[in-house]
Amino acid sequence: MNKAAKSLVLMALLVAMASVATGQESLKDIIEQEGFAWMVGQWKAVTDDGTEIILTYRWAVEGHAIVSDLQMGENLSQGIIYLVKDEQKARQLTVDSRGQAIWATWELQDGKVISKTKMINEYGEATDVGFAFSKIDATTMNVAAYELENGELSDYSSFDIDFKKQKKMEPLRSTGSTSTGPESFKDIVEQQGLAWMVGRWKATTDDGTEILLSYLWAVKGHAMISSFKMGERESLGIIYLDMDAQQGKQISVDSRGQVTKATWEAEYGEAIAKTKMTNEYGETTDVGIAYSKVDNNTINVAIYGLDNGELSDDSWFEINFKKEKK
C-alpha cells in the first residue's frame, strides 16, 4: 500500500473522517452569526422542591459540535449536537441514564433557540415536546417546555424555569458508575468480553504521526464517548445501544464538520465497526474496522473492505495501539 493510500485508511480509524471537505462553515459560525453564543456554558437551576439541575453546553471538534450534559438529581444524560449540512439543520443525539437514545432537532425562532423531541415516560409512552431557550440577561436564561401541535409550539408553556450561568464551567462529572436500571450497554460489552477496549490508546505511524484514541463510559454505562486525534484532525462521537435493533450504533462529528454513522458488533472476540469511507471525489466504500486484544496493554486495529456486509479475507492495513496510563 502506498503512502497516500495508507494515510486515507488511517483516517478511517474510529469511523472519524468521512470525507475530505475543508473550510466549511461550522455550527459555531452559524450560532455566533445568529447571536446565540450566549447559550454556551454551564447553567444551574433549582426547582420548587429543591432539586438542582445542571445544564452544560460546550464546544467540541473546532466548533463543529456541541457536547451537552444534563444532571437532575440521579438522572443524567449526555449528548452531541451537530449540523446536518444537506438539510442546514442542527440535530442532537442524547443518551440518558435509563439507556434511552433520544433524537432532537434544533432551530432558531423569534429570538429563541427551540429544541423539538419526544419525551418518553417510564411506561414507554411518547409525547412530542418543544423546549424554548431564551436569554433574559447576561447571566440568566429561561427554559420553557411546550407540547407540540402539528410540529409547532403550543400557545402556552407547560413549565418554565430560569437558569443562572456559572462563572466557571466545571469538568463533566464522571457518570460511568454501574446502572441500577435495565441492562446497560456496559453490561453487554462486559458479557461479550470486550471491556478491554475501554481506555485511552496511542499509536505512531511509520512516518512518526501520533494517533490518539479513547473510549470512555458515560451516563452510568449506557453510552460510550469516543474520541480520535491524528495530527490536526480530530473527532468526537457517542456509541450507544439501539434497544429496538439490539445493536450498537455510533455517530461521530469531525473537525471538518463531517458526520459519520456506524454500527458495532462482536465477532470471535473482536469489536467490529462497519461504516462508509468517502474520498475527495465523493465516492464511498464500505469498510469494517476490527479491534482485537493483543495483551493487557495492546490492541490491534485492522481495516477491511466489506463484501456483502462482511469483512473481506485480508485487511488493507493494521496498526497496534498501546494503552495510555491515566
What is the CATH number for 34?
A: 2.40.128.20
> What pLDDT sits at residue 278?
73
Based on the domain organization, do 178 and 161 belong to the same domain? no
> What pLDDT sits at residue 21?
46
> What pLDDT sits at residue 1?
46
239 within 8 A of 291, measured Cβ to Cβ = no
> What pLDDT sits at residue 9?
53
303 within 8 A of 287, measured Cβ to Cβ = yes
Question: Residue 115 belongs to what H/E stretch?
Answer: strand 112-120
Based on the domain organization, do 32 and 154 belong to the same domain? yes
Based on the domain organization, do 9 and 51 belong to the same domain? no
Domain end marker among 130, 165, 200:
165
> What pLDDT sits at residue 276?
87
> What pLDDT sits at residue 18?
42
Based on the domain organization, do 123 and 71 belong to the same domain? yes
> Structural domain of residue 111, as residue ranges?
27-165
Based on the domain organization, do 152 and 279 belong to the same domain? no
Based on the domain organization, do 191 and 80 belong to the same domain? no
Domain end marker among 134, 165, 196:
165
> What pLDDT sits at residue 282?
73
- DSSP class of residue 39 equals G
Q: How far is the C-alpha of 318 from the C-alpha of 302, rounded, in Å? A: 4
Based on the domain organization, do 15 and 41 belong to the same domain? no
pTM: 0.87
Based on the domain organization, do 182 and 221 belong to the same domain? yes
Q: How far is the C-alpha of 242 from the C-alpha of 247, rounded, in Å? A: 5
Low-confidence ranges of the chain (pLDDT < 50): 1-8, 14-22, 172, 174-177, 179
Based on the domain organization, do 315 and 182 belong to the same domain? yes
**Residue 137 burial (10 A CB sphere; 0-12, 13-18, 19+):** exposed
Domain count, the chain: 2
Based on the domain organization, do 195 and 266 belong to the same domain? yes
Domain end marker among 115, 145, 165:
165
All three cell numbers of 199, joined, read: 481506555
81 within 8 A of 92, measured Cβ to Cβ = yes
Based on the domain organization, do 252 and 317 belong to the same domain? yes
Based on the domain organization, do 19 and 31 belong to the same domain? no
